Amino acid sequence: LPVLTIWFYKYCKSRYEPAFVKYPLQEAMMKDTLERTREPNLDLKKYLAGAYIHPVFKDSDDEDSFSAQDEKTYDDAHILVPTKRQSRRNTPVPSKYNGSSSPSLHELVEEHP
């Protein structure tokens, strides 16, 4: 049993850890925020309801209209999304903004012309 446990640990570490190293949680949350801003009426449950249906059982006219060109356009878009900032007292990296309030959207736009 200990050998099986160690093997399973190594297998899971090699299988799933790269996903979290490549796409950390903060980056995933940022992408979710951008997606909610771009498409506020997106019903993700409805979109994913038929995601795992076998192709035999899928309707032929129910094709996804999302192409590789749309994905490139989606990734290249630079949208500024104002979000609430929460400071942490024990953060190891100092904030680049000095002051008690978070920067406004206007200040962020001036920084990134």
Residues 83-110, mean pLDDT to the nearest whole number: 54
- pTM score: 0.33
Domain regions of the chain by residue span: 1-57
pLDDT tens digit sequence for 10-66: 999 998 888 777 778 888 888 888 988 888 888 878 878 877 788 788 776 655 555
Q: Which residues contact 102 (CB under 8 A, 6 or more apart)?
A: 84, 85
Q: Which residues contact 36 (CB under 8 A, 6 or more apart)?
A: 42
